[in-house]
Chain A
Amino acid sequence: MLHSWQNVVNANGVTISLVGMAIVFSSLALITTIISWTPVLLKLVNRVFPEAEIKQGENGVKKVSETDVVAAISAVLCHTAQSTNKQM
């Protein structure tokens, strides 16, 4: 193997590198631009087709937010307290 800059020139190394970098950059820049505009587009879509809540856990069980859990516990406690008061 001969170490020479001529190898790079003969194989169009500089061109391949510059074009390759430009293509990677432009592809990801295009994806960036589209992602940046997606929320705006989806806002318009949501006006016509509102997004349904489809949160789902790994086991197919519906995920519940912490607020919902606290609300459920409070409701049970409140109900229990009311029942206890009535019995008393």
Chain B
Amino acid sequence: MDFFVAFFKTTGLYLMTPGNVAMIVIGLIFISLAIIKHYEPLLLLPIGFGMIVGNIPYVAGMNLGVYDATSVMHYIYFGVSQGIFPPLIFLGIGAMTDFSTMLSNPKLILLGAAAQIGIFLTLMGALYLGFTPAEASSIGIIGGADGPTAIFLTSKLAPHLLGAVAIAAYSYMALVPVIQPPVMYLLTTKKERLIRMKPPRVVSQREKIFFPIIAFVVSALIVPGSLSLTGMLFFGNLLKESFVTERLAQTARTAMIDIVTILLGLTVGASTQAQTFLTKQSILIFVLGATSFAVATAGGILFAKFMNLFLKDKINPLIGAAGVSAVPDSARVAQLIGQKEDPHNHLLMHAMAPNVAGVVGSAIAAGFLWSFLVK
């Protein structure tokens, strides 16, 4: 009998805490959202399952979790904690992104810059609440709506917040169709939502090849801290657009990004062990993250309205909301809301311009914060 009692004491059932149960329930919610609602299933499903994996308790000394130095999960998590996975994901994103709409209407890039205001206002909010500058920067970057960028910067500045920041960033990316529409309706009139934009011009192949090289040189020279992210993004795009490395581009945008996404999602989820995750700090990070997202959306929309004061060919301000990265979900939201007003108004191609510019903008913002706060 003593044997069975001793064995029972080593089981997860005995060691389970209410916190573990709560995290497992959250993991199940993530999985449900991915399967039933199709909210970012490629991310939410691995993260949700990872949360369950990370919250199965075990006897101390068994070294099973991501924070145990010799565990398998720890070795996989190394790619997250050392910021290795995010640049690899950026390589894949670069290899699958078509910058044509952005190149055909370059002024839309500025919307991607304006939306980054969410990062910096949230940074101030986090400082106000008592976070250190490094922690505040990691929280602010959630407003960039770019999971890999948030993980990259947090792994460099505030590794202890990695789980909370990553989960907040990916949760809000998945909730783009829920968070953005109220802000978009609040800040635009029906007349503005009905604006039709000129179709983009055809972009030559030489422009497409020229762009990743020059954009990388400019961004890396101004903010060397963004080198790993923008370098991989533009390198991936050059692989795609050069037409001479099709095999490499194909691998980067399919097998490689898929493998990295699986490893990153699972281990980020597994890093949310109740004992380290369920804290007051995490709740504040979630609140600030949501604020950051809403402010970033508002920033893009308001700047589009500001630009319209000077432009002959007006911009539909809805596409300003796509400046928050979250490719391509935020562009899709702009398209959906535009089509609710006018079913024949196709905003998606226009919204992709600030959307991809937002990716570059948030990488530059992360690079700046890293350069500024690195010790």
Cβ distance A7 to chain B, nearest Cβ, rounded Å: 5
Q: Report the tally of A-B residue pairs with Cβ distances under 8 A.
A: 132
Of A27, A55, A58, which is within 8 A of B223 by CB? Answer: A27
A38 at the B interface (CB under 8 A): yes
Binary flags per residue of A12-26, CB closer than 8 Å to B gives 1, else 0: 111011111101111
Q: Which of B121, B127, B219 contacts A31 (CB 8 A)?
A: B219
Interchain CB contact (< 8 A) of A38 among B127, B131, B211, B250: B211
Report the interface size for chain A: residues with CB under 8 A from the other chain.
Answer: 42
A34 touches B128 (CB 8 A): no
The 8 A CB mask of B111-149 against A (1 = contact, 0 = none) is 011101101110110011111110011000000000000
Given A2-B130, A7-B130, A11-B127, A20 and B369 contact (CB-CB distance below 8 Å): yes
Residues of chain A contacted by B110 (CB below 8 angstroms):
25, 28-29, 32
Q: Are A21 and B120 neighbours in the complex by a CB distance under 8 Å?
A: yes
Please classify the interface of chain B as helix (H, G, I), strand (E, B), loop, or mixed, using the class held by over half of its residues. Answer: helix
* Complex interface: chain B residues within 8 A of A35 (CB): 102-103, 106, 109, 207, 211
A24-B365, A58-B246 known; A32+B109 contact, CB < 8 A: yes
A4 at interface (Cβ–Cβ under 8 A)? yes
Known A-B contacts A32-B106, A60-B246; the reply to A54 vs B127 at CB < 8 A is no
Q: Is the CB of A47 closer than 8 A to any CB of chain B?
A: no
**What is the CA–CA distance of A56 and B132 in the complex, to the nearest angstrom?**
51
Bound state CA distance, A35 and B369, in angstroms?
Answer: 26
- Nearest CB in chain B to that of A21: its residue: B120
A3 interface residue (CB < 8 Å to B): yes
Q: Bits for A30-73, please: 1 = Cβ < 8 Å to B, else 0.
A: 11111110110010011000010011101010000000000000
Which of the four size classes fits the interface of chain B? 35 or more
Contacting residue for A56 out of B112, B117, B246, CB 8 A: B246
A75 at the interface (CB under 8 A from B): no
B323-356 at interface with A (beta carbon < 8 Å)? none
A37 to chain B, nearest CB (A): 9
* B372 close to A (CB within 8 Å): yes
- Give the CA-CA distance A17 to B116 in the complex, in Å: 10
B78 is an interface residue with CB less than 8 A from chain A: no
Q: Which of A4, A18, A38 has the largest count of B CB atoms less than 10 A from its CB? A: A38
Q: Tell me what chain A mostly uses at the interface: helix, strand, loop, or mixed.
A: helix
B119 CB contacts on chain A under 8 angstroms: 20
Q: Which residue of A lies closest to B250 (CB)?
A: A58
Residues of chain B lying within 8 A (CB to CB) of residue A76? none
A54 touches B116 (CB 8 A): no
A57–B174 alpha-carbon span in the complex (Å): 32
Complex contact B360–A28 (CB within 8 A): yes
Contact among A7, A12, A33, A54 for B128, CB-based, below 8 A: A7
When C-beta atoms are compared, the residue in chain B nearest to A49 turns out to be: B206
Chain B: minimal CB distance from A22 (Å): 10
CB distance from B251 to the nearest CB of A (A): 12
Q: CB distance B133 to A32 under 8 Å?
A: no
Residue on B with the closest CB to A4? B128
CB distance from A50 to the nearest CB of B (A): 10
CB contact under 8 A between A24 and B243, given known A17-B120, A51-B205: no
Q: Which B residues are closer than 8 A to A by beta carbons?
A: 102-103, 106-107, 109-110, 112-114, 116-117, 119-121, 123-124, 127-133, 136-137, 204-207, 210-211, 214-215, 218-219, 222-223, 243, 246, 250, 357, 360-361, 364-365, 368-369, 372
Could you name 14 residue pairs across A and B whose Cβ atoms are closer than 8 Å?
Answer: A11-B133, A13-B133, A19-B368, A19-B372, A20-B372, A27-B222, A27-B364, A30-B218, A31-B360, A33-B106, A35-B102, A38-B214, A55-B205, A60-B246
